[in-house]
Chain A
């Protein structure tokens, strides 16, 4: 069962990490847009 839970947890850790990089990139872009609008 340890390997099963490890595999499922690893899957979601990978996806959530990737999603958080997308959010970070989006926030950085928003900051750049705000600077351009000044």
Chain B
């Protein structure tokens, strides 16, 4: 496993570089929006990756609620944190696309608002985990994650259910996309998925190590008064 990590990291870096080249250089220029449409190659895969991570967080939280599994709890923390990072990318790249195309940075549209709410839910989840000292924190966080996950389908299907200014989905939304554009979009998604997996892997190891250190420190503090007697 120790050897697999650097190999996977190098392959991911190569894939991300190739995907970046395809998005900026090889992809055809969209007729109405021009080059600014290329933001989609980062915005959309980041959103899909965030949704997937929040879905894994939901599954891990349910597993924790049922089995009290420490591994599930660690997976939940890791996916929520990395998911928030990808969701931040979505919330930053979205307005950077909207300003030249819509003429405004932000509108309180259902897709945009529900995405912001989703981000706030998972930020509050991370703050709960960071600042709560209660032994019930993993349980409370898992319950919050289950309710938070309800916002994911709302964000995704909001543009089908409600009238929205947001562009229709590129896949399954009734619209059409140039096959070359779709290929580059999927390539970027695969690259971001590999990158997310790599970060989750590092973060998982870090969280395990942190818990081991905390346990050892707690044991030491319990043993210290005895040694003084």
For residue B150, CB closer than 8 A to chain A, the reply is no
Q: Which residues of A contact B42 (CB under 8 A)?
A: 7-8, 11
User: Across the interface, do A29 and B199 meet the contact criterion of CB distance under 8 Å?
Assistant: no
Pick the contact of A36 from B85, B96, B216 — CB < 8 Å? B216
- Mark each residue of chain B from 30 to 48: 1 if its CB lies under 8 Å from any CB of chain A, else 0: 0000011011001100100
Q: Which residues of A contact B14 (CB under 8 A)?
A: none
Count of CB-CB pairs between chains A and B under 8 Å = 64
User: Across the interface, do B85 and A3 meet the contact criterion of CB distance under 8 Å?
Assistant: no
Min C-beta distance of A16 to chain B, whole Å = 11
Determine the main DSSP class of A at the interface with B: helix
User: Given A11-B46, A36-B220, are A22 and B206 neighbors across the interface (CB < 8 Å)?
Assistant: yes
User: Given A3-B39, A4-B38, A15-B85, are A25 and B24 neighbors across the interface (CB < 8 Å)?
Assistant: no
Q: Which residues of B contact A36 (CB under 8 A)?
A: 213, 216-217, 220
User: Across the interface, do A3 and B96 meet the contact criterion of CB distance under 8 Å?
Assistant: yes
Pick the contact of B35 from A1, A11, A15 — CB < 8 Å? A1
Shortest Cβ distance from A9 into B: residue: B96
Min C-beta distance of B74 to chain A, whole Å = 14
- Mark each residue of chain A from 7 to 38: 1 if its CB lies under 8 Å from any CB of chain B, else 0: 11011001100110010011001001100100
Q: Which residues of B contact A1 (CB under 8 A)?
A: 35-36
Q: Which residues of B contact A8 (CB under 8 A)?
A: 20, 24, 39, 42
- Mark each residue of chain B from 8 to 37: 1 if its CB lies under 8 Å from any CB of chain A, else 0: 000000000000100010000000000110
For residue B180, CB closer than 8 A to chain A, the reply is no
Instruction: Give the CA-CA distance A11 to B188 in the complex, in Å.
Output: 13
Pick the contact of A11 from B36, B93, B206, B216 — CB < 8 Å? B93
User: Given A4-B39, A8-B42, are A26 and B206 neighbors across the interface (CB < 8 Å)?
Assistant: yes
User: Across the interface, do B97 and A3 meet the contact criterion of CB distance under 8 Å?
Assistant: yes
14 chain-A/chain-B pairs, Cβ below 8 angstroms: A1-B35, A3-B36, A3-B99, A4-B24, A8-B20, A8-B39, A10-B96, A11-B46, A11-B92, A14-B89, A18-B85, A19-B199, A26-B206, A32-B217
Residue positions of B touching A, CB distance < 8 A: 20, 24, 35-36, 38-39, 42-43, 46, 85, 88-89, 92-93, 96-97, 99-100, 195, 199, 202-203, 206, 209-210, 213, 216-217, 220
Residue positions of A touching B, CB distance < 8 A: 1, 3-4, 6-8, 10-11, 14-15, 18-19, 22, 25-26, 29, 32-33, 36
3 nearest interchain CB pairs? A7-B96, A7-B93, A7-B39
